[in-house]
Chains A and B, each alone.
Chain A
Amino acid sequence: MKQILNPRLVIFILAIIFGVGLSLPSLFHIKGPQISLGLDLQGGLNLLLGVKTQEAIKSKYSSIASSINYEAKKSNILLDGIHSDSESVTFDLIDTDEASNLSDILNKLDGIKIESNNNHYIITLTPLEEETIKKNAISQAIGTIRNRLDQFGLAEPSVTQQGKEDILVQLPGIKTAEEEQRARDLISKSAHLQMMAVDEERNARVQTMTDLEAQKYGDVILPFANTAEGGEKILLKAVPILDGNMLTDAKVVYDQNHQPVVSFSLDSQGAKIFADFSGANVNKRMAIVLDGKVYSAPVIRERIGGGSGQISGGFSVEQASDLAIALRSGALLAPMQVLEKRSVGPSLGQDSIKASMIALASGFILVVGFMIVYYSMAGVIASVALIVNLFLIIAVMAIFGATLTLPGMAGIVLTVGMAVDANIIINERIREALKAGENIVRAVHLGYINASRAIFDSNITSLIASILLYAYGTGAIKGFAITTGIGIIASIITAIIGTQGFYQAILPKISKTKHLYFWFGINKKD
């Protein structure tokens, strides 16, 4: 009895318990680790977004310019021609006596290099700071998108970084074009809120002014949000009064006409800047700009303390609430661009599952039927190993939360074919030894020894290929590499270790059998 439970058989039994036990939740949708279906199998929207990190640098320069402008005004230092672009902030110091005061202000800013030549200043970011800003822009974008999608109420959205500057967003269960549009708007909205002063002196000429001319005055021309292209425009001071990162909250409220508007609050610093500016500019206009579009430009009646404001723009309730979500979850430091968009309707997903299930089942029946006809009992044993192999793939994928995709299904179908190879090699070797006149115990032993070497070599090479595919491949290739990689390891466990353990356990029983045809499908004497 001692021989029955050999270590190999124990491993095989453990593999069976592990494989079957942990794949049940996925197969019957009960509680436990589940395999998740890729969007190509369940339907949904797949977006690959590229983050324009250069824009984050540009907006950092713009906000540096804002703060220099504000601090300099507060300390009564006269600056001229303050200008920011995607490479630097430049300005001229008029009050040369104030140079030391100015450098006090500048020294308070982190991560910048200051060059000055005859009172012309060029401020640039250090390379390290640029790298940090880019990295922040991506990680912040991932966080923000996740936040927005959570509040949007979608089931299990997934937002992950892919490559260096790309973000992969997967939204299962998006079905209609409207839902898709709404989700995409929510994701890609920068929600970059700015307060800008209107250049009242020159605004009268705005319709005839070119962008270049505006730039010369340190201004910028922006369109109103609710008008069509080429419609109403307004001339604004290019350096904003304050930036959206001082925003603390945003919610939907209704104005006196019962129209939905978005009300926002600013943090203490923002509130102070807001109050100072409004106090000094009574009867002038201040524009509320969101993502480069002007929503309103109300005339300031009095100093606005308390640090809150409103954005009105003829929103629907839905639009207002999406905008509030976007503002509340923070601005994106850099705008994003859709690099790849894949959407699969639920009916196609179901068809794909059905087709691959049919292929898997028929391929499986074919293989099992063939093995049993050809090898008799040895074929039955091999088939059991094959079934355990399948369970193991599902179980391991469920534990690691891997996603099963259509190419992954193809990988499983192929693994079935490959795992059979190991069993065929073993059985052929056993048959060879039996024909050479060895007794059964020795034949099985020799069969495994000789077969293992070849199987090991061939599986290792396949495994190396799978690992490389997983490491360097994308999407479809990765999914395929996962299932074949797991399948190969599972096949080593079930085919080489598992079945041998089983033979070792039953060998005492069959060692003297005359029924070679029953056990291995051969006639010894021919």
Chain B
Amino acid sequence: MEIFKKVKILDFVKYSKYGLILSIFLTIGAFVLLFTKGFTPGIDFAGGSAAQIRYEQNAPIEKVRHLLEANPQFKGVQVSEFGSKNEILVRIPYTQTSADGNLGSEITKLLESTGKFEIRKLDTVGPKVGNELKQKGILSLLLATLAIMIYVSFRYEWRFALAGIVALIHDVIITAASVIVFDIDLNLEVIAALLTLIGYSINDTIIVFDRIREKMLTQRTNNIEEVINDAISSTLSRTLLTSLTVFFVVLTLYLFGGEIIVGFSLPMLIGVVFGTYSSMFVAPKLAIIFGFDIQKYHAKEIKKAKKAQEKKQLRQMYEKGRV
């Protein structure tokens, strides 16, 4: 089966103008969301306890809330539905006693009258762990970005590396904002999704960059826009096919993985869309804006080739001289 029978060269660079405007708009919106509303930190970061309770029948949320709120130990408790009508999530702010004591049996005792239930999951995280997590999370993010930057600079050109990283940050910021929009707690799964996105998004961008580099070396044109259009057009079938398969795989994860892993699957769905979009409409255009000069690139490549040639000749002469 074929969908793309012929490579039609589309003017991606022209559309990138609008793409860039849209991206700036979205990024600013995302920043506003991040700084005004902000994340709702889950217990992984804020500390506290979360109990996932499943009833045999519909969960009596109101009653549970009432019973727990009446007890001073559960001050500030939040009770919400979790995935299905049978299951609820109880969140309790951190206290040292909840870490040392036996929260499970206390909840069981308090809720005994509400019907038959089972505590399926009970997590308690201290504030120290949350802080450590924050530091480690930020550190690993920074290091990963830096390492990618170095590698791409080494393999391509620093303006490409910078463009790739800016596009990457754009994807991550927008996806992070979507976490706020969908009202998902910031927990480890969300972090895992954002980290995966980094890998995925840079992947996509590199495939496009690789084509641009190839076209620059094979086609002796000095029009960078032409090269970019040609490169994105010829990778278009691959980009769409891969993005769609990844999208569907993540979609099945979202549909069947359920509430347990929604913190991972939902941001990933958004991230795949933006990762694909930015590698076509944002990253290449940015490289031009950052002042990538194809003539200089060609000159450099010719110089490199010359040097290699000279070396080769020198070696040949040397070998001949010795023999």
B-binding residues in A (CB < 8 A): 48, 50, 163, 177-178, 180-181, 184, 337-345, 347-348, 351-352, 355-356, 358-359, 362-363, 366-367, 370, 373-376, 406-407, 410-411, 413-414, 416-418, 420-421, 424-425, 428, 431-432, 450, 453-454, 457-458, 460-462, 464-466, 468-469, 471-477, 480, 484, 521-523, 526
Contact = CB atoms under 8 A, between A and B. Distances in A.
B202 A458 contact: yes
27 contacts: A178-B105, A339-B126, A348-B121, A348-B260, A356-B261, A358-B252, A363-B253, A366-B252, A367-B245, A376-B1, A410-B189, A410-B192, A410-B264, A428-B238, A457-B206, A458-B203, A461-B148, A461-B151, A461-B206, A464-B151, A466-B199, A468-B144, A471-B140, A472-B143, A473-B195, A474-B136, A476-B191
B5 A526 contact: yes
Contacts of B261: 355-356, 406, 410
Interface in B21-61: 52, 54
Contacts of A50: 126, 128
Given A424-B238, A454-B210, A477-B188, A414 B120 contact: no
A363 to B, nearest CB: 4
A368 to B, nearest CB: 10
Contact of A177 (B104, B124, B191, B207): B104
Contact of A407 (B128, B198, B238, B264): B264
Interface string B221-265: 000000000000010011001100110111011011110110011
B192 A177 contact: no
B183 interface: no
A332 B1 CA distance: 68
Given A359-B253, A420-B242, A344 B152 contact: no
Given A414-B249, A466-B199, A454 B189 contact: no
A454 B202 CA distance: 12
Contacts of B125: 339-342
Contact of A413 (B118, B253, B255): B253
A428 B237 contact: yes
Nearest to B241: A424
Nearest to A521: B1
A418 B246 contact: yes
Nearest to A375: B1
A492 B242 CA distance: 17
A476 B189 contact: yes
B69 interface: no
Q: Give the 10 A-B CB pairs with smallest separation, nearest first.
A: A472-B140, A417-B246, A476-B188, A363-B249, A348-B120, A454-B210, A417-B249, A462-B199, A177-B105, A458-B203
Contact of B207 (A340, A425, A471): A425
Given A450-B214, A454-B206, A472-B140, A344 B120 contact: yes
Nearest to A462: B199
Contacts of A363: 248-249, 252-253
Nearest to B99: A338
A432 B102 CA distance: 65
A358 B256 contact: yes
Contacts of A431: 2
B6 A413 contact: no
B211 interface: yes
Given A177-B102, A340-B129, A342-B123, A469 B195 contact: yes
A259 to B, nearest CB: 26
Contacts of B199: 461-462, 465-466, 484
Given A366-B249, A432-B234, A355 B260 contact: yes
B296 interface: no
A446 B261 CA distance: 41
B147 A468 contact: yes
Most chain B C-beta atoms within 10 Å of own C-beta, residue among A337, A355, A376, A420: A355
Contacts of B122: 341-343
B313 interface: no
Given A348-B120, A457-B206, A473 B140 contact: yes
A433 B2 CA distance: 15
A453 B102 contact: no
B46 to A, nearest CB: 13
B62 interface: no
B319 interface: no
A390 to B, nearest CB: 13
B310 interface: no
Interface string B122-162: 11111011001100110110011001100110010000000
Contacts of B80: none
A476 B2 CA distance: 40
Contact of B260 (A373, A406, A432, A454): A406
Nearest to B195: A469
B111 interface: no
A352 B152 CA distance: 38
Given A461-B152, A464-B144, A474-B136, A367 B249 contact: yes
Interface residues of B, number: 75
A407 B147 contact: no
Nearest to B2: A522
A473 to B, nearest CB: 6
Nearest to B127: A339
B316 interface: no
Nearest to A520: B2
A181 B253 CA distance: 36
Contacts of B52: 348
B212 to A, nearest CB: 11
Contacts of A337: 99-100, 126
Given A339-B126, A366-B252, A474 B257 contact: no
Given A343-B121, A347-B120, A453 B210 contact: yes
Nearest to B208: A454
A413 B199 CA distance: 15
Contacts of B202: 458, 461-462, 465
B292 interface: no
A347 B118 CA distance: 9
Given A410-B264, A432-B7, 8 more contacts: A342-B122, A343-B122, A351-B260, A358-B256, A359-B253, A407-B188, A420-B245, A460-B151
Contacts of A418: 200, 203, 246
A523 B2 contact: yes
B114 interface: no
Contacts of B260: 348, 351-352, 355, 406
B78 interface: no
Contact of A417 (B6, B139, B191, B245): B245
B67 interface: no
Contacts of B100: 337-338
B119 interface: yes
A354 to B, nearest CB: 9
Nearest to A366: B248
A424 B129 CA distance: 42
B108 interface: yes
B196 interface: yes
B249 to A, nearest CB: 4
A348 B261 CA distance: 12
B119 A345 contact: yes
Nearest to A450: B214
B104 A458 contact: no
Given A343-B104, A465-B148, A424 B242 contact: yes
